[in-house]
Amino acid sequence: MTKLFGAILVLVGALMFVPGIWLIALGGSWYYSLAGAGLAAAGFYYWKGQLQGAWIFGAVFAGTALWAVWEVGFELWPLVPRLVAPMVLAILAVLLVPSLNEGRGRKASLAAAGVLALGIAGFFWGMATPQNVIANADPVPVREVASDGENWTHYGRTPSGTRFAPFDQITPENVGELEVAWTFNHGDAPSGTGQDQNTPLYVDGLVYHCSPNNIVSAIDAVTGAQVWQFDPEASSPLWQRCRGVTYYEPSLLDDAPGDGSCAARIVLSSVDARLIQIDAKTGALCTSFGDGGAVDLTRNMGEVRPGFYFPTSAPTVMGDRIILGGWVWDGMAVDEPSGVVRAFDGRTGEIAWAWDIGNPAIDTVPPAGETYTRGTPNVWSTPAFDAALGLVYLPTGNAQPDFYGSSRIEAANDWNSSIVALDVETGKVVWSFQTTYRDIWDYDVPAQPMLYDVTTETGEVVPALIQVTKRSQTFVLDRRDGTPIAEVRDLPVPTTGGVEPEYLSPVQPYSVDMPVIGAEPLTEARMWGATPLDHLYCRIRFRQAYYVGDFTPMSEQGTLIWPGYFGGMNWGTGTIDEARGLLIVNDTRVAHLLQLIPRQEADALGVEVVGPHDGLAPQDGAPFGAMRSNFFSFVGVPCQEPPYGTMTAIDLTNRSILWQRPVGTIEETGPFGIRTGWRMPVGLPLVGGPISTASGLTFYSGTQDYYLRAFSSETGEELWRGALPLGSQSTPMSYIGPDGRQYVVVTVGGLNDIMGRGDIVMAFALPEE
């Protein structure tokens, strides 16, 4: 046994010593090479059966413990890769000491092994305990919020996009009694790069769901039975999804059908770039709209190759205007379809206005023979609107190509990654605010703006717009004119070390009065791994990359983007508990590695479609392609320390964190993607968004384990967990049904082909009396 253990120590020592020398050469820690040499020496003596092996191992273990505490202190997760595996080896080392010492010291050996085993048990107990951070334990004041009905008629429930349900039937006291009320199978499970990320609507007894290929189902809100289904027969080569549809009741029509059809409509944008209207009661096409019920969104766009342009988010209906932008296939070329935003007459489908940032003279359709300006920043997320002010608020994306700016038109620099307020009647810009200057990090504004009246430090109540971003910055603006309510400062950022220093902005905007969530600068010491070996691997990858903090310039060496372009906060947005003045958001903490590839080399690599954010972004027409990858260890775990996703409540009155907790366990996925069955709350990357209710509950389902969860909005405590058959990537919704019961509905489409796909809509409610 001592020979086998000795061989293991020699092998582990070699695997630490040789890469450890590499890490030293990169300017990193000396620990791994020194510890590797010590383990190899200890293994040599264990192989020979000599007691010196135990003494050498003991010295290495003691040094490891001192080094670990010196580098990261006593924080649990950072200590795991530094101490747990060495403690396992230490148990074996001490148990074998009697074999090296002619049978002497057996009791002491067993005692030492027991102490080490208790230490490991302590680590695992700590890892199994949610690390909830309470920053303010004072009671949260609650005000009454007037009910505005029982429906959920917009993507964010109301035009304000706060995802706040003013219902109090399900409470923190009875939420544990929730049970499945009904399930519905829509028949269009996602495949390939498709995902079911739909937040359904509820209007007057019907739930409306839209599947990845835009099949719309009307579901009885009490029984879950299908009322009707509409299939637009839409297809796209990738990125099939429908995050929402919109409910629309047109103003009086002179030519309205006598049978009352299409008095209420569902407005749908499809993955093959059509804008479609169907009767909300029957699912029949509203043929008076557009050309037989649909408008071709590729008109006046020039060449649109399959999959290069279509809306993924719900259309915005404001009065009789239908407003929408579109998603473009990121990073493919300089010459991609336009990011134009258009408003259509909701009754006829005729274009009302267009906002083309590359040519403001085009305010409806381009002149004959011309197109909307190509390659401009787009609006792929969901706008919000304020009907009283007559303003619609657009979250803009990046210009093309994503990761190289010098090939863009100049107008793109004024509008990328911004919030832009347009007059809904004319489409003219009223104000704008830019969240990232000259964005080459894919930091487009991904989330729907949230409109909520905040109280300033002077006691003034101001109509605000709250915008969360991929950068983990939260901007709070006066929605009347775009003036920051929470202070914003332009702070210096690096511009050297990349391929285009003359292009970059020397400053970037920071919301200095609002908490920054999970975006502390990376260091070698913050690298992580399940074992010392993948921990070492991640430290080497960190040292190989170019990283000098926020907004590190893009380089041929390979730039580390942190926060990554999945966020921070992403399209799931957040929720505002309007009764308590709390902004509640989920975030993702995954870094990305981006390497610029010279044009000739990029052309030789070609393009393999594995997804719109993976692999090579060719950036045709620019001097560089871009190779994109997650910054993961070789076991498939993010290279920085956990958590990788949290839920956070921010008090909007004092602008501080009320609570924060990791969300998501490794029950369904762990290292190498293996299902562990262990509910260890690491906090995994999150998708979708939360909703909040008047009773003080926050519901969330977008974890990598299979649950719909309910948290206390005031403390962050997990109060209930309802099992789902598969993973969910959607934002839940809630309504009061015709039977008077409050329902919480979530779509369950699965995560990927390995973890399973589904076509399920599920409703939860309290038991019937």
**d(Cα 58, Cα 96) in Å, to the nearest integer?**
13
Given 3-state DSSP classes, what are the helix, strand and coil percentages for the chain, each rounded to the nearest 5?
A: 20, 30, 55
- The active-site residue out of 386, 442, 550, 651 is 442
Cβ 427 vs Cβ 354: under 8 Å = yes
At 578 the three-state DSSP class reads: coil
DSSP-assigned beta bridge partners for residue 423: 391
**d(Cα 155, Cα 151) in Å, to the nearest integer?**
12
Strand 309-310 vs strand 265-269: parallel, antiparallel, or unpaired?
unpaired
Contacts of 749 (CB under 8 A, 6+ apart): 189, 190, 195, 196, 197, 212, 726, 728, 729, 730, 757, 758, 759, 760
Phi, psi of 752 (to 5 degrees): -160, 180
568 cis-preceded (ω within 30 degrees of 0): yes
Phi, psi of 462 (to 5 degrees): -120, 135
Q: Which of 309, 313, 412 is nearest to 356 (CA)?
A: 412
DSSP-assigned beta bridge partners for residue 481: none
Cβ 385 vs Cβ 422: under 8 Å = no
**d(Cα 707, Cα 196) in Å, to the nearest integer?**
16
Told to judge if 442 belongs to the known catalytic residues of this protein, a careful annotator would answer yes
Helices (H), strands (E): how many in the chain? Answer: 9, 41
**d(Cα 582, Cα 712) in Å, to the nearest integer?**
12
Instruction: Compute the radius of gyration of the chain from its Cα atoms.
Output: 28
Strand 309-310 vs strand 691-693: parallel, antiparallel, or unpaired?
unpaired
**d(Cα 159, Cα 30) in Å, to the nearest integer?**
56
For the record, the structure tokens of 194 come out as 């498709």
Q: Which helix (H) or strand (E) holds 323?
A: strand 321-324
Cβ 680 vs Cβ 662: under 8 Å = no
**d(Cα 163, Cα 577) in Å, to the nearest integer?**
8
**d(Cα 583, Cα 305) in Å, to the nearest integer?**
40
C-alpha 244, offset from chain centre: 17
Cβ 153 vs Cβ 247: under 8 Å = yes
Q: Which helix (H) or strand (E) holds 45?
A: helix 31-48
Q: Which of 193, 195, 179, 181 is nearest to 758 (CA)?
A: 195
Contacts of 388 (CB under 8 A, 6+ apart): none
**d(Cα 181, Cα 308) in Å, to the nearest integer?**
40
- The DSSP code sequence of 500-549 is -TTTS-SEEEEETTS---S-PPP-GGGB--SSHHHHHHHHHHHHHSB--S
Q: Which of 379, 418, 420, 376 is nearest to 401 (CA)?
A: 376
| CA distances in angstroms from 763 to 220, 223, 261, listed in the order given | 11, 10, 29
Residue 302 neighbours by CB distance under 10 Å? 15
Task: Give the torsion sign (CA, 549, 554, 558, 564).
Answer: positive
**d(Cα 702, Cα 708) in Å, to the nearest integer?**
8
**d(Cα 518, Cα 588) in Å, to the nearest integer?**
8
**d(Cα 521, Cα 671) in Å, to the nearest integer?**
25
Length of the chain (residues): 769
| CA distances in angstroms from 337 to 265, 326, 410, listed in the order given | 29, 9, 17
Which residues are catalytic, by number? 442
